[in-house]
Amino acid sequence: MKLIQEKVDNWINTNGGYWPEHIIFMRLVEEVGEIGRVLSLKTGHRKKAEVEKIDLEIGDVMFSLAALANLNNIDIEKAIEQSIDKYNRRSSNSSEENSFHEVHSPT
């Protein structure tokens, strides 16, 4: 992930610099919406002649997320490790096996 953040940082710095934080966040939300659109097309909930590949949209989300993390001096790898630890604690605190959905719910 650190390499991804470095690549995004290099690209942004050679292409005009970082956008304001709220613009990056809005871009991230837009890209997540694109994933939803692709999933709707893929599952047949919406029709289109050619369904886009979800990998491109996930790439766009990762780019925006890395830019937002860089702007806030956040190490994505460390943040993911903290999230996994949080999910593990939630899972181990339950008497029954949890699905990702149950462990991922906000508390």
Q: Are 98 and 91 in contact (CB under 8 A)?
A: yes
pLDDT, the chain, mean: 85
How does pLDDT run across 43-82, given as a tens digit for each residue? 877 666 455 688 889 999 999 999 999 999 999 999 999 9
How does pLDDT run across 17-32, given as a tens digit for each residue? 999 999 999 999 999 9
Say whether pLDDT at 97 is over 80. no
CA distances 51 to 6, 20, 28, 45, 54, Å, are 31, 32, 21, 12, 9
Residue type for position 95? S
* pTM of this structure: 0.75
Question: If you ran DSSP here, which 8-state letter would residue 46 be given?
Answer: S
Query: Using H for helix, E for strand and C for coil, what is the string for 77-103?
Result: HHHHHHHHHHHHHHHHCCCCCCCHHHH
The runs of H, that is alpha helices, within 15-53 are 21-42
Using CA atoms, how far apart are residues 73 and 27, in angstroms rounded to an integer?
19
Helix (H) or strand (E) holding 60: helix 54-71
Where do the domains of the chain lie, and which CATH numbers do they carry? 2-74 (1.10.287.1080), 77-107 (no CATH)
Record the tokens describing residue 5, joined without a space: 């953040």
Q: Are 68 and 21 in contact (CB under 8 A)?
A: yes
